[in-house]
Structure 1
């Protein structure tokens, strides 16, 4: 059994009398410790996959299994615990608490989980050792995204889910953030799932899952993922 399994997952949203098929039977697997890239154009279903995987939304039909747990069968209380303990989220817009320092933002996340990592070591690992006392407004976009990654990592999650994590960043800063995510996966064995519309990023993944019109159009395994430093776009 794979670490993450999507088996014929469908998600239909109802808008009045209109039914919108966000996913039309998506199936794929991701192994433990893999860096997976889910790629495809806007509206393909990438965010829906991430939301279902993170327990922020529920599937209409199909099976979602993470580390042996049937996420699609969880009730609201179980889903809350799953999101709290097992999942780290990194969004395009950093979602930091503005009146808390970088360290306090990370500390907030560490307080709600079972086995958090050391806050200061986590901030050091993302290159923010000298910015811990700064508030988000005093940090660049790239630094704020690093705080968001540190916050997600401090929870010591099973899976790190990243929704267009470089979407609000310039080219060089975005590269630095992707390198941080790639290094985190390699050094700490965290399963990382990144969704992106930028197909140039696909060589950095161990596994590339292409989404088109609510289905998986292609899955590629890269035996030798390319370091982000060597990718240009």
Structure 2
């Protein structure tokens, strides 16, 4: 049985008198420990899928199973618990607390979950051993994104969800962030889902889910994913 399974998920938004179907009968599976990329053009419904998977939004119909739990059937209180304990989020913009150091930003996340990882260890893992006492304003964009990833990883989540995690970064820095995410997946067996419109990075994934016009266009299995270092775009 798949670790994550979306079955016939539908999500509509009312915009004035217009109804927009952002997710139109979406179904796909993700196995435990996989690195998955959801790719598609802007407005295809990728972020909607991520928000539903992360418990930040609820679908109108369908089933969303994550490690045996039907997230679609959760109450708002249950969704809060799910987001807190089971999901790590990484966004395009880092959303760090500006008056806290890198270490304090990571410790803040660790305080709200059941089995956190030591903040210092996670910051070392993301390559920031010597930047722990720096404030966000003293860090580069790439370093701030590493803090954001460390913050997500410190929660020891079942699932790491990344929405355009390199969107605000230059090519070289973006590549180093993708390598960090790929290495984390491989070394820690963490299930990682990355949303992007950049089709060039899809060779690094175990599974690629192409979304177009709110529907799954196709799913590609890649038995031999490429290391990020070998991908050029």
Residue 116 (1) aligns with residue 111 (2): no
Alignment partner, residue 165 of structure 2: 165
Give CA deviations for 1:169-201 in whole Å, capped at 9, x if unaligned: 000000000000000000000000000000001
Shift of 1:67: 0.3
Question: Where in structure 2 are the equivalents of 1:17-56 lying within 5 Å?
Answer: 17-56=17-56
* Alpha-carbon distance between aligned partners in 1 of 2:163 and 2:14, rounded to the nearest angstrom: 24
Q: TM-score normalised to the size of structure 1? A: 0.99
Counterpart secondary structure, 2:42: coil
Alignment partner, residue 84 of structure 1: 84
Residue 12 (1) aligns with residue 12 (2): yes
Residue 61 (1) aligns with residue 61 (2): yes
Shift of 1:98: 0.4
Shift of 1:16: 2.3
Shift of 1:202: 0.4
Shift of 1:18: 1.2
* Alpha-carbon distance between aligned partners in 2 of 1:44 and 1:17, rounded to the nearest angstrom: 21
Matched positions, count: 233
* Alpha-carbon distance between aligned partners in 2 of 1:64 and 1:17, rounded to the nearest angstrom: 28
Q: TM-score normalised to the size of structure 2? A: 0.99
Counterpart secondary structure, 1:41: coil
Which deviates more from structure 2 when the two are superposed, residues 16-25 or residues 101-110?
A: 16-25
Counterpart secondary structure, 1:112: coil
Listed as ranges, the gaps of 5+ residues in structure 1 are none
Residue 212 (1) aligns with residue 222 (2): no
Residue 189 (1) aligns with residue 189 (2): yes
Residue 146 (1) aligns with residue 110 (2): no
* Alpha-carbon distance between aligned partners in 1 of 2:42 and 2:17, rounded to the nearest angstrom: 24
Give CA deviations for 1:90-143 in whole Å, capped at 9, x if unaligned: 000000000000000000000000000011110000000000000000000000
Alignment partner, residue 100 of structure 1: 100
* Alpha-carbon distance between aligned partners in 2 of 1:175 and 1:105, rounded to the nearest angstrom: 24
* Alpha-carbon distance between aligned partners in 2 of 1:38 and 1:198, rounded to the nearest angstrom: 10
Shift of 1:17: 2.0
CA RMSD of aligned residues (A): 0.4
* Alpha-carbon distance between aligned partners in 2 of 1:175 and 1:15, rounded to the nearest angstrom: 37
Which consecutive aligned stretches of 4+ in structure 1 deviate over 4 angstroms post-superposition? Answer: none
Counterpart secondary structure, 1:100: coil
